Amino acid sequence: MWKQLPELPDPEGFAGMYAGLCGECLIAAGGANFPEKPLWEGGPKRWADRIFLLREGSDGWEEAGRLPLALGYGASVSLPEGVMLIGGTTAEGVRRECYVLRLVDGGIHCEETAPLPLGLTGHSAVLCGGKVYVTGGSSLPGEQDALNRLFIYDLSRKEWSEGPPMEARGRFLHQSAEHGGKVYVLGGIGLKEDETGKPKRDMLKEAWSYSEGDGWKRLADLPRYCAAAPTPAPVWGGKIMLLGGDDATRSGIPPQEHPGFHRVSLAYDIREDRWEEGDIPEVGRAVLPCVLRGSEAIIVNGEQKPGKRSNQVWSVSIREE
């Protein structure tokens, strides 16, 4: 069941935000948009450093501080102590800094923690067994490379290590999930050379799982391309849900004519190793975070279509079967 939460107090909204929970409070930060004029009219992309807070029971967001950098297109996970922001980009390039946003005396405190071993953007992260697993991404701006590397942050030691790389092509803007002590890496975008030898997007259908005991294992391919759907992806009834994203069926359409991203969901049945397709009745978005809170998943802003953001925040109830 879908319901709309209070809109973020910015009329443009943002893509590539960080979001998560601190207690029962929802935090959203960073991202980028085109506040001056649309992309198709030559508007410049602007990165944001604003932090927003939605307190439990409140009917509106409040501004709760600023990030040290105007930052977006990284990854975020909810930790017991706050929201971890991992890498991303600024207007100047790819970053390796990591931060934890905590609720202190009613306000947000931003604490820098151990940086990534290298700068990353377009990567994904999940919390699994006291560790944060970061997969894929790009180390260069402008989609010049796609990595298959795995980095692991140990919460007790507060340090990074590198795990075995994915036994697959590198990718960015992929979806991740955690269930039963395993990390799942689903779809995304790889790169291949065009006729001039320059890198261009190559949509992927591959799905993989990883655990320290079993290593990397290939799963059933997605039935259609999917990239930049809300992530970490929610899991209910033993199924990983990919709620929207970009399926490449509308690639090449000029931004001003783009009808918006599709409203199709994909569900991966973990036990049966198979996929199902469905519809999203309310909203289709891409390049946005997903926050898991009890029996619901919350998606924050994102792109309605290339160059056009949304300031909406939606919640979908999750039912365990």
pLDDT tens string 18-62: 999 998 899 999 999 999 998 999 999 999 999 999 998 899 999
SS3 assignment, position 119: coil
Residue 321: its pLDDT value, please? 45
80: CB partners within 8 A, 6+ apart: none
Strands 159-163 and 175-179: unpaired
Burial annotation 257-271 (CB, 10 A radius, 16+ → b, else e): ebebbbebbbbbebe
**Any idea what the Cα angle at residue 188 is, between residues 177 and 21, rounded to 5°?**
35
Q: Which pLDDT does position 319 carry in this prediction?
A: 58
Strand partners, 72: 89
Distances in Å between the Cα of 70 and the Cα atoms of 16, 48, 230 are 12, 5, 21
Q: What is the largest CA-CA distance in the chain?
A: 57
Instruction: Please state, in angstroms and rounded to a whole number, the distance separating the CA atoms of residues 162 and 155.
Output: 14
Question: 130-154 pLDDT, tens per residue?
Answer: 999 999 999 999 999 999 999 999 9
């309605």: which residue's tokens? 304
Classify 142 in phi/psi space as left (phi over 0), alpha (psi -120 to 50) or beta. Answer: left
Q: Is 143 helix (H, G, I), strand (E, B) or coil?
A: coil
- Alpha-carbon distance of 4 to 316, in angstroms, equals 9
Q: How many Cα neighbours within 13 Å face the side chain of 67? A: 31
**Residues 152-175: pLDDT tens digits?**
999 999 999 999 999 999 999 999
Angle at 137 between CA 131 and CA 143, to 5 degrees: 165
**C-alpha to C-alpha distance for 264 and 278, rounded to whole angstroms:** 6
Q: Is the previous residue joined to 232 through a cis bond, with omega within 30 degrees of 0?
A: yes
Identify the pLDDT of residue 24: 87
Mean pLDDT of the region 225-250 = 93
Report pLDDT for 252: 81
Mean pLDDT of 255-281: 88
Alpha-carbon distance 287 to 39, whole Å?
16
Report percent pLDDT > 70 for the chain.
Answer: 98
2-317: which CATH topology? Neuraminidase (2.120.10)
Q: How far apart are CA 259 and CA 107, in angstroms?
A: 39
Rounded to two decimals, the pTM is: 0.96
Those residues with Cβ within 8 angstroms of residue 192's Cβ, 6 or more apart along the chain or in another chain: 199, 200, 202
Separation in Å, CA 120 to CA 15, 69, 75, 100, 248: 17, 15, 9, 17, 23
> Any idea where the domains of the chain sit in the sequence?
2-317
Rounded to whole angstroms, the Cα distance separating 233 from 184 reads 9
Q: What percent of the chain has pLDDT over 90?
A: 83
Q: What is the mean pLDDT of the chain?
A: 94
